[in-house]
Chain A
Amino acid sequence: MIGLALNFAVFCFSVALLLNLWRITRGPTQADRILALDTMVINIIALLVLYGIYEGTAVYYEASMLVAMVGFVSTVAYCRFVLRGDIIE
């Protein structure tokens, strides 16, 4: 039963990644693209943790923690670049 639920969750987050890609290509404003990228990072964290359950190893937490940190920093850096034209003033 867990395997079935795992497959369902992986399917859901994969479709969510495709929807984010759609918003990145369409997105009328730059804020939309940043938002879609941020959501993409969060979905990828979920996929990594799901793969960790699938494999039964604890290695993927470290990876997802790193992805979470890098995703947050890159979102803030992109926003600052659009806002001020510079990341560190």
Chain B
Amino acid sequence: MNLVIEILISLCLVTAGVFGLVGSYGLIKLKDTMQRLHAPTKATTVGVGGVLVASMLYFFLIKGSLSFHELMITLFLFLTAPVSAHFIAKTFIQAEVTEKDLPDPEHEFGWAVFDDAPSYPDEDDHEPKP
């Protein structure tokens, strides 16, 4: 039984390490910035998740103390990774891509990076007069 627990935790740790390494290797291997955005946001997040699961299993099964702090960190990372990836993509588009390179937007207002937010007629009353 003890051996099974050790194998389980070791498997989590090794998987997490490999995923973390692959995520950061993709950061230097891939050619384009938009491609590079994929590797750290997906693989590294899974790597950290594996480390946190391994830590939770270790403290629960070997030390005998159950805590959900790790799950909180995992949840936080899984929530914030897409937000930061979106911000980084927006930064890249604003700095390196011109508006002509982007496909036409489906609606009448343009891309959010280049155009202001669409304003509606009844909102104009609240704006300060020049």
Binding site for B on A (CB under 8 A): 1-2, 4-6, 8-13, 15-17, 19-20, 22-23, 26, 28-32, 34-36, 38-39, 42-43, 45-46, 49-50, 52-53, 56, 58, 61-62, 64-65, 68-69, 72, 75-76, 79-80, 82-83
Contacts and interface: CB of A to CB of B under 8 A. Distances in A.
Contacts of A62: 69
12 contacts: A1-B6, A2-B6, A13-B20, A31-B91, A35-B27, A46-B20, A46-B51, A53-B54, A65-B73, A65-B76, A68-B77, A79-B87
Interface of B: 6-7, 9-11, 13-14, 16-18, 20-21, 23-25, 27-28, 33, 36-37, 40, 44-45, 47-48, 51-52, 54-55, 58-59, 63, 65, 67, 69-70, 72-73, 76-77, 80-81, 83-84, 87-92, 94-96
Interface SS of A by simple majority: helix
